[in-house]
Amino acid sequence: MAFLRKLSIRSQLLILAASSIIVILIIILHTYSMMSGMITKNHEEYVRQTVTEIQKNVISNKDVVYRLMQNISYNEEVQSFLVEKNALRRYEMFKKLSQLITNQKELKDGVLDIVISGNNGGWVDINGGNRYVAPMVSKLPKTKFNAYYVGMQTFGSSYGSAEGLIFATSITYMQPGELFNSNVGTLFFIISPKALAGDEEYAMKKTSTQIYLLDRNQRIITSNSEHEVGTVLPEGLFTRGSSGGQHTVQWKNKPYVIQTEPLPDIDGVILSIAPKDELLRDLRSIREVELAILGVCLLVLAIPFTFIINNILRPLKKMMLFMTNVKRGTLFEFQKRIALHGYMEINVLATQFNHMLDEIEQLTQRLLETNSRLYGSELEKKKAELAFLKSQINPHFLYNTLEVITGIAVVEKQTRIKHMTRSLSAIFRYSIKGAEVVQLREEVKMVESFIQIQQIRFADRFTVRYDFSEEALSYRIPKMILQPLVENAIYHGLEPTLKAGELWLKGDVDIENALHILISDNGVGMSDERLGQIRDMLAESSSAQAADENVKSIGLGNVNNRIKLIYGDEYGIQIESEEGKGTQVRLMMAERKKHDA
Domains of the chain in start order, with CATH, are 7-279 (3.30.450.220), 443-596 (3.30.565.10)
Distance CA(192)–CA(109), nearest Å, equals 9
Higher pLDDT, 535 or 457: 535
**What pLDDT shows up at residue 335?**
66
**What pLDDT shows up at residue 402?**
63
**What pLDDT shows up at residue 277?**
66
Q: What is the pLDDT of residues 110-125, one digit of tens each?
A: 888 888 888 877 888 8
pLDDT band per the 50, 70, 90 thresholds, residue 596: very low
Q: What is the pLDDT of residues 140-150, one digit of tens each?
A: 888 888 888 88
Q: Which of 112-121, 196-205, 250-259, 488-497 has the highest mean pLDDT?
A: 488-497
**What pLDDT shows up at residue 318?**
77
400 pLDDT higher than 60:
no
The 3-state secondary structure of 149-197 reads EEEEEECCCCCCCCEEEEEEEEEECCCCCCCCCCEEEEEEEEECHHHHH
Angle, CA 334 vertex, CA 330 and CA 339 arms, to 5°: 135
Q: Can you spell out the DSSP letters for 289-308?
A: HHHHHHHHHHHHHHHHHHHH
Strands of the sheet with 582-589, listed across from one edge: 462-468, 501-509, 515-521, 582-589, 572-578
pTM of the predicted model as reported, rounded to 2 decimal places: 0.45
Q: What is the pLDDT of residues 409-420, one digit of tens each?
A: 666 666 767 767
pLDDT band per the 50, 70, 90 thresholds, residue 505: very high
Distance CA(355)–CA(170), nearest Å, equals 115
